[in-house]
Every structure is written in structure tokens, then in C-alpha cells.
Amino acid sequence: MMKRWGLASKYEHPGIYSISIGSQIVYIGKSTNMLRRLAQHWVGIKISKEHKYKVLAEAKKRRLVTTFDVMYYAKETSSSALEEELGRREGELIRAYEPPLNS
């Protein structure tokens, strides 16, 4: 879907992303390919088995605006350095924003 909307280039990178309901960040995650990971979240919302997906599905049902955004693009390229960079940065952002679905 994001490819159809022309948004793929924004997300086809390693980095940190957020999911917001309205203006509140409710989840922060990391991925080596954010586009693929966001697609997995869309499927999760439709299936609604995990708590975070139940919350996001309920927000969608109530017609609340749910958005995905890039918070940080990774700079490292080697696997081990990339994992370390993303893990460190994700932790910093989770501590700063305290999103309720990151528990």
C-alpha cells in the first residue's frame, strides 16, 4: 500500500519508527527495513491478537487517526553496528516519549 502511495522510499531503510494515535506516540519500534515492518503491523492490526494491535484496531474502529512516522534513520551499515545503533537509539526514544504500548 505504501508503495502505491509513493511512500516506500521513506521507509525502505533501517531506522526507528513511531506509531501515533492522534498526536500521541503510542509505540516506538526499530527495524532494518521499516517498510516491511510497518506492513507487518498493518496485518497485526487486522488480526488483533496482541495487545498493541487490539488497541490500534480499536482506534481504527473509532476512526481515530493512526499514523506511522520515521523518527530516526540509521547511519551504520554493518549488521552488528547497525543492531547496536538501533537498539541504543530506540531505548533513548522510548525513555524520552514513554509510549504506552512499549511495555
Q: What interhelical angle do 34-47 and 51-61 show, nearest 10? A: 80
Residue 12's nearest CA partner among 42, 29, 34, 40 is: 34
Residue-wise pLDDT tens digits, 3-24 = 666 666 778 899 999 999 999 9
CA trace torsion 70, 61, 26, 1 (10° rounding): -20
Q: Are 25 and 19 in contact (CB under 8 A)?
A: yes
pTM: 0.87
Pick out the chain residues at pLDDT < 50: none
